[in-house]
Amino acid sequence: MSAQATGPETLGSLSDEAQITDPNSKQAKEISGKSPMQIAFARLRRDKIAIVCAVVVLFFVLVAIFADLIAKAFGVDLETVTACEVLECNFANPGVGYPKTGPPFNDFDPSHPFGLAPRTGADNLAHWIYGCRTSLLIAGAATLFASVFGIIVGLVAGFAGGVVDKVLSFVIDFFLTIPFLLAALTIAPIIIDRFGTSDSYETVQIASLIGILSLFGWMTVARLIRGEVLSLREREFIHAARVLGMPTKRILFRELLPNLTAPIVISISLMLPAFVAAEAGLAFLGIGVTGSASWGQTIANAVPYWSNYSLYLWEPLIGVVALVLALNLLGDAVRDAFDPKTRR
Amino acid sequence: MRRSKAAGALATSAALVTLAACGGGGGNEDETGSDGNDGFQNAAETIAKDESRQGPAPEVEGASAGGTITVYLPDDPGPEDLDPTNGWSVTGNSIQQALTHRSLTQYARDNETGEMVLVPDLATDLGSPNEDFTEWTFTIREDATWEDGKPITAEEVAWGIERSLDSEAFPSGPGTEYSKHYFLDADKYNGPYTDKGKDYEGITFDEAARTVTIKMSMPFPDMDYWGAFMAMGPAPLGKVSDPPEYGRSPLSTGPYKVESFRPSEELVLVKNDAWVAESDPARHQYADKWVFKFAADPTQTDELMLSGNTESQTALSASITAENYANFNQELGDRLVQQSAQCTSFWAPDYEKTTPEIRKALAYAYPYESVWQASGEVPGVTRVPANSIMPPGMAGKSDYQVDGEQITYQPEKAKELLAEAGEEGFEIHMAYNTGSPTTEAAQKQIEKGLTDSGFTVKSYPVPIETSLYTIWTDPDNKINKKLNLRGVNWCSDWPSGSTMIPALLRTGATYNTAFFSEPEIDEKMDEIGTLPLEEQPDAWGALDEEIATEYYPIIPTAFRNDLFAFGEKIGNPTGDGALGAPNYKDLYVAQ
Mean pLDDT of A332-341: 82
Across-strand partners of B399? none
Nearest CA among A106, A115, A132 for reference residue A74: A115
Contact partners, residue A15, CB within 8 Å, separation at least 6:
A8
Question: What pLDDT is recorded for position B197?
Answer: 83
Higher pLDDT, B274 or A120: B274
Contact B62, B306 (CB under 8 A): no
Contacts of A208 in chain B (CB under 8 A): none
Lowest mean per-residue pLDDT among A17-31, A239-253, B25-39, B228-242: B25-39
Which residue among A82, A93, A309 sits closest to B370, beta carbon to beta carbon?
A82
User: What CA–CA distance (Å, rounded) separates B501 from B556?
Assistant: 12
Sequence letter at residue B536: Q
Verify whether the Cβ–Cβ distance B441 to A95 is below 8 Å: no
Phi, psi of B139 (to 5 degrees): -95, 125
Verify whether the Cβ–Cβ distance B326 to A286 is below 8 Å: no
User: What CA–CA distance (Å, rounded) separates B571 from B562?
Assistant: 19
Verify whether the Cβ–Cβ distance A95 to B32 is below 8 Å: yes
**3-class secondary structure, B169:** coil
Q: Chain A contact for B39, CB < 8 A?
A: yes
Interface size A-B, in CB pairs within 8 Å, comes to: 142
Report CA torsion sign: B328, B331, B335, B340. Answer: positive
Q: Chain B contact for A2, CB < 8 A?
A: no
Question: What pLDDT is recorded for position A342?
Answer: 63
Question: What pLDDT is recorded for position A26?
Answer: 57
Phi, psi of A76 (to 5 degrees): -120, 155
Verify whether the Cβ–Cβ distance A84 to B302 is below 8 Å: no
Contact B428, B446 (CB under 8 A): no
User: What CA–CA distance (Å, rounded) separates A238 from A255?
Assistant: 7
Q: Chain B contact for A107, CB < 8 A?
A: no
In b/e form, how buried is each residue of A102-141, taking b as 16+ CB within 10 angstroms?
A: bbebbeebeebebbbbbbbbbbbbbbbbbbbbbbbbbbbb
Give the HSE-up count for residue B243: Cα atoms under 13 Å, Cβ half-sphere. 23
DSSP A207-259: HHHHHHHHHTTHHHHHHHHHHHHHHHTTSHHHHHHHHTT--HHHIIIIIIGGG
User: What CA–CA distance (Å, rounded) separates A236 from A129?
Assistant: 52
Number of H helices, E strands in chain B: 18, 22
Verify whether the Cβ–Cβ distance B28 to A305 is below 8 Å: no
Verify whether the Cβ–Cβ distance B374 to A119 is below 8 Å: yes
DSSP A257-300: GGGGHHHHHHHHHHHHHHHHHHHHHHHHTTSS--SS--HHHHHH
Higher pLDDT, A262 or B82: B82
Verify whether the Cβ–Cβ distance A304 to B298 is below 8 Å: yes
Going by DSSP bridges, is the β-strand pair B427-434/B456-463 parallel, antiparallel, or unpaired? parallel
Sequence letter at residue A215: L
- Whether ipTM exceeds 0.90: no
| Secondary structure element (H or E) that encloses residue A40, with its range | helix A36-46
Q: Chain B contact for A118, CB < 8 A?
A: yes
Contact B320, B332 (CB under 8 A): no
Contact B485, A123 (CB under 8 A): no
Across-strand partners of A2? none
Give how far A204 is from chain B: nearest CA, Å: 13
Q: Nearest residue on chain A to B327, judged by CA atoms?
A: A308
Q: Chain B contact for A307, CB < 8 A?
A: yes
Contacts of B456 in chain A (CB under 8 A): none
User: What CA–CA distance (Å, rounded) separates B247 from B84?
Assistant: 8
Mean pLDDT of A296-321: 90
Q: How many CB atoms lie within 10 A of CB B538?
A: 16
User: What CA–CA distance (Å, rounded) separates B428 from B45?
Assistant: 38
| Secondary structure element (H or E) that encloses residue B129, with its range | strand B128-129
Interface of A with B in 75-94 (CB under 8 A): 80-85, 87-94
Nearest CA among B238, B55, B65, B266 for reference residue B159: B238
Query: Can you give the C-alpha Rg of chain A in angstroms?
Result: 25
Nearest CA among B339, B349, B288, B341 for reference residue B317: B339
By percentage, how much of chain A surpasses pLDDT 70?
A: 88
pLDDT, one tens digit for every residue, chain B (591 residues)? 666 544 333 333 222 222 222 222 333 333 333 333 445 665 555 678 888 888 899 999 889 999 999 999 988 888 889 999 999 888 999 999 999 999 999 999 988 888 888 999 999 999 999 988 899 999 999 999 999 999 999 999 999 999 999 988 898 888 988 898 899 988 889 889 988 888 898 999 999 999 999 999 988 888 999 999 999 999 999 899 998 899 988 999 999 999 999 988 999 999 999 999 999 999 999 999 999 999 888 888 998 999 989 999 999 999 988 888 888 988 898 899 988 878 899 999 999 999 999 999 999 999 999 999 888 888 888 898 999 999 887 888 888 998 888 999 999 999 999 999 998 899 999 999 887 778 888 999 999 999 999 999 998 888 877 888 889 988 888 889 999 999 998 888 888 888 899 889 999 888 899 999 999 999 999 888 788 888 888 999 999 999 999 999 999 999 988 899 999 999 999 998 888 899 999 999 998
Question: What pLDDT is recorded for position B465?
Answer: 76
Interface probe for B, chosen from A93, A190, A290, A308 (most Cβ of B below 10 Å), is: A93
Across-strand partners of B427? B456
Contact partners, residue A79, CB within 8 Å, separation at least 6:
none
**3-class secondary structure, B457:** strand
Verify whether the Cβ–Cβ distance B445 to A120 is below 8 Å: yes
Give how far B297 is from chain A: nearest CA, Å: 10
Distance from chain centroid for Cα A331: 10
Q: Chain A contact for B36, CB < 8 A?
A: no
Provide the 8-state DSSP code for B150.
Answer: P
Verify whether the Cβ–Cβ distance A82 to B449 is below 8 Å: yes
Q: Nearest residue on chain A to B445, judged by CA atoms?
A: A82
Report CA torsion sign: A20, A26, A27, A28. Answer: positive
Verify whether the Cβ–Cβ distance B379 to A96 is below 8 Å: yes
Please, which pLDDT band fits residue A90 given cuts at 50, 70 and 90? confident
Please, which pLDDT band fits residue A133 given cuts at 50, 70 and 90? very high
User: What CA–CA distance (Å, rounded) separates B210 from B139?
Assistant: 6
Query: Can you give the C-alpha Rg of chain B in angstroms?
Result: 23
Phi, psi of A289 (to 5 degrees): -75, 125
Mean pLDDT of A84-88: 88
Phi, psi of B535 (to 5 degrees): -85, -15
Question: What pLDDT is recorded for position A29?
Answer: 54
User: What CA–CA distance (Å, rounded) separates A248 from B424?
Assistant: 65
Contacts of A308 in chain B (CB under 8 A): 323-324, 327
Verify whether the Cβ–Cβ distance A308 to B479 is below 8 Å: no
| DSSP E strand stretches across B190-274 | 203-206, 211-215, 256-262, 266-271
Q: Is residue A3 predicted with pLDDT exceeding 70?
A: no
Question: What pLDDT is recorded for position B40?
Answer: 61
Question: What pLDDT is recorded for position B379?
Answer: 84
Distance from chain centroid for Cα B529: 22
Rounded to 5°, angle at Cα B27 from B23 and B32: 105
Question: What pLDDT is recorded for position A89?
Answer: 85
Q: Nearest residue on chain A to B446, judged by CA atoms?
A: A82
DSSP A86-129: HB---TTSTTTTSBSSSTTTS---TTSTT-B-TTT--BHHHHHH
Q: Chain B contact for A11, CB < 8 A?
A: no
